[in-house]
Amino acid sequence: MTRFPPRAHPAHLDESALRLGLAAFAAADLGLAVFMAVAPHAFYRAIGPFGARNDHYVRDVATSYAAVGVALALAIGRPSWRVPALAVSAIQFGLHSLNHLLDIGGAHPAWVGYLDFFSLIASTAMLGWLWRISAIAGQAKQEPPVPRPHPTSQRSLT
């Protein structure tokens, strides 16, 4: 079993950072989902100007963002949901980043393609970090405490 090195900072900082990260990504995903569903043309013009516009597909993608956003929001209060929700979100962002890398020059204006890619890859890294600290926190809760020798067992019998 892999052991992680002890943390140099208190566990409550990990918990607060984790909850803040979950809330931030949940809010961002749900905000994007609403924006995409309610105003697909405005979303296309502002954020997704790649290829031909298709409002139906923009709303389809909104449903995925909404589902992941709800899972992340629920994971704030349900620690057992954190690792799976963060894993799915990190994988989705990683694949989304790859798609944007492949089409990096296809946005109009072109700088939007680069901004999209770099913001997605930064988000992927942040989600990966949240996923890791969530896994470490979960592992720490599952591991039985290391038995300490009883003080009387250390006495010499001579």
Number of Cβ within 10 Å of residue 50's Cβ equals: 17
Whether residue 88 is contained in a domain is answered as yes
Number of Cβ within 10 Å of residue 116's Cβ equals: 22
Give the Å distances, CA to CA, from 98 to 4, 68, 92, 102, 122.
29, 19, 10, 6, 12
Whether residue 131 is contained in a domain is answered as yes
Whether residue 123 is contained in a domain is answered as yes
Counted domains in the chain: 1
Whether residue 44 is contained in a domain is answered as yes
Whether residue 150 is contained in a domain is answered as no
- Alpha carbons within 13 A on the beta-carbon side of 45: 3
CB 61 within 8 Å of CB 36: yes
Domain containing 133: what range? 14-141
Per-residue pLDDT of the chain (158 residues; tens, 9 = 90+): 555 555 544 455 578 889 999 999 999 999 999 999 999 999 998 887 788 899 999 999 999 999 999 999 999 999 999 999 999 999 999 999 999 999 888 878 888 889 999 999 999 999 999 999 999 887 766 655 556 666 665 555 55
Residue tagged 């890859």 (tokens): 121
